[in-house]
Amino acid sequence: MNNFKKFFLSKILRRKYYRTGKCKACGKCCTQIYVKHYKHVIQDEKEFEKLQYLHRFYTYLKVIGKDDIGLIFECQNLDPETHKCKIHRTRPGICRRYPQEELFSMGGALSDDCGYKMEPIISFEEVLEKSKKNSRFR
Ligand code: SF4
Ligand code: SF4
């Protein structure tokens, strides 16, 4: 990644990761979904019902379980046989932008065989180098 892009993502957009790779259309990210609203993950079905008035994406989801993170949803647009999205051309922006780093802050993770990877914008080596430089001036 060039320095300008790195600067833009990390300093302007305050991102820590950027996406590489390509979707393999396996459909795994359309199941086992957590929903984050402001700073918390939705735990309660009544609260979720209110969210359904806010965005059409929420109307596609149905609860399939709950764990210690929150309610777990599955999207009803996922074709159970082909594992393809039934509304691929008109899917919401949140699906087009997946995965984003917010996924990690919700306790989620990419499936092992997802075609995308989230790479740190500033590599571990760069962080180490920066911290060495700073310590020289102390
Ligand atoms: S709308 Fe399509 S891409 Fe988005 S979660 Fe549902 S099945 Fe997946
Ligand atoms: S899990 Fe990854 S590869 Fe599979 S559909 Fe989602 S984004 Fe694409």
pLDDT, tens digit, for every residue of 62-99?
999 999 989 999 999 999 999 999 999 999 998 998 98
**Pocket flag, ligand 1, residue 106 (CB < 6 Å):** no
**Pocket flag, ligand 1, residue 31 (CB < 6 Å):** no
* Neighbouring C-beta atoms of residue 78, cutoff 10 Å: 19
Output 37 or 66, whichever has higher pLDDT: 66
For residue 95, being part of any structural domain is answered with yes
Of the ranges 6-15, 33-42, 70-79, which one carries the lowest mean pLDDT score? 6-15
Return d(Cα 37, Cα 97) in angstroms, integer: 17
Domain count, the chain: 1
For residue 125, being part of any structural domain is answered with no
Buried b (16+ CB within 10 A) or exposed e, 5-18: eeeebbeeeebebb
* Neighbouring C-beta atoms of residue 45, cutoff 10 Å: 10
For residue 126, being part of any structural domain is answered with no
- Read off the pTM: 0.78
Q: What is the pLDDT of residue 136?
A: 65
For residue 128, being part of any structural domain is answered with no
Domain boundaries, position 90: 17-120
Output 100 or 42, whichever has higher pLDDT: 42
Q: What is the pLDDT of residue 137?
A: 59
Buried b (16+ CB within 10 A) or exposed e, 95-114: beebbeeebeeeebebeeeb
Nearest residue (CA) to ligand 2, atom 7: 23
For residue 80, being part of any structural domain is answered with yes
- Specify whether the CB–CB gap between 70 and 35 falls below 8 A: yes
For residue 129, being part of any structural domain is answered with no
Which range in 2-6, 32-36, 56-60 is most confidently predicted, on average pLDDT? Answer: 56-60
